[in-house]
Amino acid sequence: MKVSVLGCGRWGTFLGWYSDKIGHNVTIWGRSGSKNLEELEHTRKNKYLYLSETTKLTNDLDATIDNSDYIIISISSQHLRNLCEDIKKSNYENKTFILCMKGIEVSTGKRLTEVFREILGSKVKLAVWVGPGHVQSFVKRIPNCMVIDSDNKDVTEDVVKTFSSDLIRLYIGEDLIGDELGAAAKNVIGIAAGMLDAVGYSSLKGALMARGAREVSRLIKAMGGDEITAYGLCHLGDYEATLFSEFSNNRRYGENFVRGTLNDDYLAEGVSTAKAIVKLSDDYNVEMPIIRGVDAVLNGELSPHKMLKDMFLRSVKKEFY
């Protein structure tokens, strides 16, 4: 199949590499002026992998879309709306789009498929691809499981079939709301994990996993999804990569934030997601003390030590409510 990837960051470039490995005809697109695209064009590699000779690189969006059956999008969540406006000018109607990204639009509180459909309409075939997996492990041939979801069972099954392999086992998701929210929210729990690491409370990550997944499952349910989805690959299944791994952007962001060692040019997805989820928790009247606490610390409204203690030791009597 003709597969293109819009976005040439770590994850997008990996998805191009992967699609090529499993036999597709791959084009990777980046904006003109993108440093990542420039590096790939000059060296055919990045820090993690080498591209095959047949993988095309381009900054021509219209031609890329025109020439693809499947279009994977992997860019920063807050830029999706702008990219969709650009896609709208192309011949996009009969393609299958797959969002491989994790976030919520902070200005609207909308899920990424909602943003996409708002601009490109309800008829385009659209799926999400979420769940665990480090580029660093995949390129060493260490397999993992991920999940595909959409609002159309046939699309979900087709994408699973087109992109499954021995390296990435794709499961069929049946709760788009849950899979999108769960995937986005795990980045905020990752920041909380980094904060625990910074204050020497790493042993509270077990409680963080149980209590964090619980509040996310409450939000999913309130928004019309299935509460069990938070405990699937999209959220809990991504906790190893996000809460424990040295590779996790969001965990490192939380740790550096508390230590006061953040670089100015570096922002984790979970920062805007925390803001968006606080808004959703207000709109849907769902108690979310951990994500709310992370947001308050990031906004400088609360000291991380106080937040982390309160977060786990507040006087809730019953475990499930």
By annotation, the residues acting in catalysis are 186
**Under rule CB under 8 A, residue 48 binds a copy of itself:** no
Residue 16 · residue 64 · CB < 8 Å: no
Q: Is 150 helix (H, G, I), strand (E, B) or coil?
A: strand
Nearer to a copy of itself, 54 or 320 (CB): 320
Please identify which residue in 213, 274, 278, 297 interacts with a copy of itself, judged by CB under 8 A. 213
**Binder to a copy of itself among 237, 254, 270, 304 (CB under 8 A)?**
237
Number of residues this chain uses to bind a copy of itself (CB under 8 A) = 53
User: Smallest distance from the beta carbon of 22 to a copy of itself, in angstroms?
Assistant: 15
Integer Cα distance of 162 and 148 in angstroms? 11
For residue 294, give both structure tokens.
């992370």
Estimate the crossing angle of helix 304-313 against helix 205-222, to 10 degrees: 70
Q: Does 145 bind a copy of itself (CB under 8 A)?
A: yes
Residues in 153-172 at the binding interface with a copy of itself, rule: CB under 8 A: 160, 166, 169, 171-172
82 binds a copy of itself (CB under 8 A): no
Helix 176-198 to helix 112-120 angle (10° resolution) is 140
Q: How far apart are the first and last CA of the chain?
A: 48
Find the part of the chain contacting a copy of itself (CB under 8 A) among 15-23, 57-65, 202-210, 274-282: 202-210
Alpha-carbon gap, residue 11 to 74, rounded angstroms: 7
Q: Which stretch binds a copy of itself (CB under 8 A): 71-79, 81-89, 127-135, 276-284?
A: 127-135
Coil, helix or strand for 224? coil
User: Is position 133 an interface residue for a copy of itself (rule: CB under 8 A)?
Assistant: yes
Question: Of the two residues 90 and 137, which places its CB atom closer to a copy of itself in the complex?
Answer: 137
CA distance 119 to 87: 9
Quote the CA–CA distance of 99 and 182 in Å, as a whole number: 14
User: Rounded distance, CA 174 to CA 151, Å?
Assistant: 8
Q: Which is nearer to a copy of itself, 162 or 245 (CB)?
A: 245
**Residue from 27, 77, 113, 229 in contact with a copy of itself (CB under 8 A):** 229
Nearest to 238 by CA among 154, 145, 106, 317: 145
Q: Are 14 and 48 in contact (CB under 8 A)?
A: yes
Name the residue nearer to a copy of itself (CB basis): 53 or 319. Answer: 319
Residues placed in the known binding site for NAD(+) = 7-12
| Interface contacts to a copy of itself, rule CB under 8 A | 132-134, 137, 142-145, 147, 160, 166, 169, 171-174, 200-211, 213-214, 217, 226, 228-229, 231-233, 236-241, 244-245, 309, 312-313, 316-320
